[in-house]
């Protein structure tokens, strides 16, 4: 297997944890009351994550690989419907 490809998994792992750690720390701090008045940050960070996901998938052209479902007569990518339900 390609050496560069073997190292790519570590880049993905770093990206995952680099994005996960701040959300985890923020959620823990808010749930313990350490950041009073900061609860208005969570809706904005959730919105930014959703917009970022949409922009990334669009920029990479990955929508073509998503399966679709019909919701209220409109065909939507299944990833969008599953994300909305998970939220």
Q: Does one domain contain both 34 and 44?
A: no
Query: How long, in residues, is the chain?
Result: 87
pLDDT in tens, 20-71: 888 788 878 877 888 777 777 777 877 888 888 889 888 998 878 878 888 8
Domain that holds residue 45: 40-87
Q: Are the beta carbons of 13 and 20 closer than 8 angstroms? A: no
Does residue 14 carry a pLDDT above 60? yes
Residue 83: predicted pLDDT: 58
Q: Does one domain contain both 52 and 68?
A: yes
Residue 59: predicted pLDDT: 92
Total domains in the fold of the chain: 2
Q: Does one domain contain both 33 and 75?
A: no
Q: Does one domain contain both 5 and 47?
A: no
Predicted TM-score (pTM) of the model is 0.49
Q: Does one domain contain both 29 and 69?
A: no
Q: Does one domain contain both 57 and 75?
A: yes
Where do the DSSP E strands lie in the chain? 68-71, 74-77
Residue 84: predicted pLDDT: 59
Q: Does one domain contain both 86 and 48?
A: yes
73: left (phi over 0), alpha (psi -120 to 50) or beta: left
Residue 46: predicted pLDDT: 79
């Amino acid at each position: 297997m390609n050496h560069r490809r073997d190292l790519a998994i570590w880049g993905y792992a770093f990206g995952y944890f680099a994005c996960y750690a701040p959300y985890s720390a923020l959620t823990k701090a808010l749930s313990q009351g350490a950041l009073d008045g900061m609860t208005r940050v969570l809706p904005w960070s959730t919105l930014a994550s959703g917009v970022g996901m949409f922009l990334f998938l669009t920029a990479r052209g990955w929508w073509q690989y998503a399966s679709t479902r019909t919701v209220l007569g409109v065909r939507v990518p299944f990833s969008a419907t599953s994300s909305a339900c998970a939220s």
